């Protein structure tokens, strides 16, 4: 995994995306475990930023995260 540089928001966003991907059948058909792991890593590196709002909600709680989103 690419380092989140000590950024808890990025770290949490990456973890949420990885959890979601690993819970689905994505990247399982005709893939070795190593290829699947590499494919998931690439997806997380490319799309973790789409989970920033979810990560903020997890870290701050829904009410606090919503207040910050309005600013």
Nearest Cα residue to 51 out of 2, 1, 10: 10
Contacts of 57 (CB under 8 A, 6+ apart): 65, 66
Q: Is the pLDDT of residue 33 over 60?
A: yes
Mean pLDDT of 27-49: 93
pLDDT of 38 reads: 96
Q: Is residue 22 part of a domain?
A: yes
71 within domain boundaries: no
- Token readout for 6 is 């000590």
- Read off the pLDDT band of 6 (50, 70, 90): confident
Average pLDDT over residues 46-64: 90
Total of domains in the chain: 1
How far is residue 36's CA from residue 67's CA, in Å, rounded to a whole number? 38
Considering the domain boundaries, does residue 31 fall inside one?
Answer: yes
- What is the token pair recorded at 63? 């009410």
Token pair for 1 = 């995994």
Which residue segment(s) compose the domain that 48 sits in?
A: 8-65
Q: Is the pLDDT score of 1 beyond 70?
A: no
């Amino acid at each position: 995994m690419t380092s989140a540089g000590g950024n808890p928001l990025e770290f949490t966003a990456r973890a949420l995306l990885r959890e979601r991907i690993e819970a689905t059948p994505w990247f399982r058909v005709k893939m070795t475990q190593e290829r699947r792991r590499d494919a998931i890593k690439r997806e997380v590196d490319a799309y973790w930023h789409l989970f920033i709002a979810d990560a903020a909600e997890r870290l701050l709680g829904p009410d606090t995260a919503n207040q910050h989103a309005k600013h």
